[in-house]
Structure 1
Amino acid sequence: MTENNTQSHLLPTASQQHVGRSTLIWLSLFALFIAIVAGMGFVYRQYVLQQGILANMEEQLENKMAALSLEQDVLAKEMEQQLIGQQEQVQQGLDDLASRVDSHATKLLALSSVNRDDWKLAEINYLLRMADYRILMEKDNVNALALAESADDVLSSLDQTGLQQIRKILAEEIAVMKMTGRVDREGLYMQISALANQIDAIPFVRPLGEMIEPEANSFEEEDKTFKEKTRDFFYGILGKMHSYIRVRDHGKTINAILPPSEQNYLRQNLRLMLEQAQAALLRGEGEVYQDALVKARNWINQYYELNEQSKILLDELRLLEQQNVELEYNNFENSRSALSDYIQRLQKAAVRRGVR
């Protein structure tokens, strides 16, 4: 009997076993609580650190935007002054041209025996003047070349030996212009316009931590054991912590993530930069043209998502940068001068014959 009592004291009772399991569960829950608190503290610390970095970047961006706005104002004033100067030059050129046309018209009307050849010579002179105007004001060698070739066709229809030297000079000027090359300004202008229309289609860099929450399956949750639920809970915390760390292999560091208001401001400035490239293209200012496209490409690299669409846009901008829009064109001054001398000799000969 004594031996049985001794054995009963050595074996744990059911209540003692229940207390042991409860202690183990409470210890597990306490460890889980400590892990949750530590994870939340780490996430909060990372969030505060990120907000400080973003605030610093936002301040730097505002400073850059202010400097860019000032630079644009200065550039706009310079462009306005240049346009005013060019308009004055154009007006002066038009006044001189009108004065010369009036002078030639007076001389032609003073001749009593104006024949068909005289009118053709006046037409040739007009075509060559228009060709020089296209080169000087519009940098358009295509239409200028067409006008010069039309003048040569009219020259070939005149049966006058004194015009052979003029045709030779004009042929040399046409050959030089053909070898200079051609800039398709209209085509490049439309390409830049098409790229500007694609700006709204490419997204900006997304904020860190942005992720899509998976949909919970209630049936699977009911079938999971306590151990599996605990494991999934830990993995969920790790997943949320992982969403605050993102590696972007774009070959360069992203400087800032823009809020929506500044995104709209950057889009407007990007369009303005492309419009500046178009204006420089029409004026034949190669350096301004390339600088504007380089700035636009750098902004896209820095602030936009580098997806397939933005890469195509960057490639198009890079191809446009390689276009030489600053070609030096010759004019038709020599042939015009020779033609003017020839017309004056004809008029003097007519006066000596007593025609006038």
Structure 2
Amino acid sequence: MSDKPEQQPAAHVDKAAETPVTVAKSEPTSAKPAAKSSGTGLSLLALLIALAGAGAGGWAAWQEFQRQQVQAVAAEPEPDPALIAAQQTLQNQQQALASLQSELQQAVTQMPSQAGLSEQQAALAAVQQAQQQFDQRLSSLLDRSRQDWRLAEGEHLVRLASLRLQSLRDSQGATALLLAADNILREQDDPAAYGAREQLAKSIEALRMLPAIDRTGLFLQLSALREQLFALKPLPSDYDADAEPPLLAANDSDPEWKQWLSKLSAYVRIDVAAEESIRPLLAGESLEQVQLALSLTLQQAQWSVFNGDPAVYKDALKQAGRIIERYFPLEHAEVRNVRQRLKELAAQPVDVTLPSVADTLTAYQLYLAQRERKDLLLKPAPAAQPVEPAVQGGE
């Protein structure tokens, strides 16, 4: 590459040498200026040659440097993907650490001073104290509310006992209700409830001295007996027309009157050994009417059981017995058993003189009124709460 640039200056030298010769021929009178111009051109030519050589050498050096860089890049091994990922993770962690550090610094700068912390601690202590007082007050109110609800329940039980005695005349149910009300007063453990408990004890003992009357049992027994009455069979009234009596059997050869007597025997029965009291025979609608009458009398007896009316109760059972004696055969065992059962039920008591629990209810209500007045007198005044300003200042 260094040889070619050296040949080119030779051509320039020849051209420059030819130019002064031509000038010398055209202007023979001025020889000195031409010589001076020839020296300047040579120096410029030498400078250009030097610059061209330097440029050629730099270009060659730059090409060599590029070739070495390409060889070095080609010779380097490929980077490890795991190492690149680890470096990226490390960089991310460094960035997160720097962000956290900046946030911590910002939080430290925003922290309150020592005086602010003291105010917040004082406000927190005041709030905790107020919360404790509120919890205590709420607990006492809830406890008091439970007691009030229990006492109200006891009053309701006494009212139910009074209504049960008046409407259903159920002494056993009323006794159980009064015992439950007495247990509520016993749980209160209040000496002021002595008068109410005394009246409760009197009413309970008065009810316990009464004879036990199972009104529900009597009602159910009458219902079962009413179902049995529908199964009773009346006196026989239907006869099979096809089955002729042996004595009245007639043939075609018999006289006409005997044939008529045979047909009439299917509708008329002549009993020579009949009882003195002749009862009518029941069939069809007549039997249904008798059964309906018996059912109504027993239902009347059931109504009198719950109303405590012994007169109506006994009259209804006697009327049922008379209906059975009139329309049903007494020689049947089922009829005799039903009559005996009616007599046994008629002997059962359905009414007693029940005591009144009005005094007990009055004593209970008086105790509740005294307790309410006591609560109003002992109720404390609402306390001031200077907690909220302290909390606002701390915030």
Q: Same fold (TM over 0.5)?
A: yes
CA distance in 1, matches of 2:351, 2:196: 29
CA distance in 2, matches of 1:270, 1:114: 59
- Is 1:133 paired with 2:163? yes
CA distance in 2, matches of 1:279, 1:124: 31
CA distance in 2, matches of 1:125, 1:280: 30
TM-superposed deviation, 1:323 = 1.3
Q: 1:142 aligns with which of 159, 172, 182?
A: 172
- Is 1:294 paired with 2:318? yes
Say which structure, 1 or 2, has more relative contact order (CA 8 Å, 6+ apart): 1
- Is 1:342 paired with 2:367? yes
TM-superposed deviation, 1:354 = 4.6
**Alignment partner of 1:203: what SS?**
coil
CA distance in 2, matches of 1:136, 1:205: 46
CA distance in 2, matches of 1:243, 1:112: 89
CA distance in 1, matches of 2:239, 2:274: 12
Partner of 2:32: none
Partner of 1:245: 272
Partner of 1:155: 185
TM-superposed deviation, 1:243 = 4.7
Partner of 2:207: 177
TM-superposed deviation, 1:114 = 3.4
Is the 1:131–1:144 Cα contact (8 Å) retained in structure 2? yes
Is the 1:209–1:245 Cα contact (8 Å) retained in structure 2? no
**Alignment partner of 1:114: what SS?**
helix
- Is 1:330 paired with 2:355? yes
Cα separation, partners in 2 of 1:207 and 1:330, compared to 1, 3 Å: same
Amino acid at match of 1:244: D
**Alignment partner of 1:281: what SS?**
helix
- Is 1:202 paired with 2:232? yes
TM-score (norm 2): 0.50
Structure 2: 5+ residue runs without aligned partners? 1-140, 248-261, 382-395
CA distance in 2, matches of 1:355, 1:291: 67
CA distance in 1, matches of 2:204, 2:143: 33
TM-superposed deviation, 1:163 = 1.4
Cα separation, partners in 2 of 1:355 and 1:136, compared to 1, 3 Å: farther
Amino acid at match of 2:323: W
Amino acid at match of 1:308: A
Is the 1:208–1:244 Cα contact (8 Å) retained in structure 2? no
Larger Rg: 2
Cα separation, partners in 2 of 1:355 and 1:286, compared to 1, 3 Å: farther
- Is 1:315 paired with 2:340? yes
* Equivalences for residues 1-356 of structure 1 within 5 A: 114-206=144-236, 243-248=270-275, 253-306=277-330, 307-354=332-379
TM-superposed deviation, 1:202 = 1.7
Amino acid at match of 1:171: A
Is the 1:131–1:143 Cα contact (8 Å) retained in structure 2? yes
CA distance in 2, matches of 1:157, 1:208: 73
TM-superposed deviation, 1:164 = 2.0
CA distance in 1, matches of 2:188, 2:152: 12
Cα separation, partners in 2 of 1:158 and 1:352, compared to 1, 3 Å: closer
Deviation digits for residues 262-290 of structure 1 (CA, Å, limit 9, x no counterpart): 12111111111111111121222221111
**Alignment partner of 2:144: what SS?**
coil
CA distance in 1, matches of 2:270, 2:278: 17
> Which shows bigger deviation, 321-330 or 302-311?
321-330
Partner of 1:53: none
TM-superposed deviation, 1:213 = 6.2
Deviation digits for residues 95-130 of structure 1 (CA, Å, limit 9, x no counterpart): xxxxxxxxxxxxxxxx99834433322121111111
Partner of 1:231: none
Partner of 1:8: none
Cα separation, partners in 2 of 1:277 and 1:289, compared to 1, 3 Å: same
TM-superposed deviation, 1:199 = 1.6
Structure 1: 5+ residue runs without aligned partners? 1-110, 217-236
CA distance in 1, matches of 2:203, 2:169: 16
Cα separation, partners in 2 of 1:158 and 1:114, compared to 1, 3 Å: closer
Partner of 1:91: none
Is the 1:274–1:293 Cα contact (8 Å) retained in structure 2? yes
CA distance in 1, matches of 2:287, 2:380: 77
TM-superposed deviation, 1:214 = 6.5
**Alignment partner of 2:355: what SS?**
coil
Identity of aligned residues (%): 27
Amino acid at match of 1:347: E
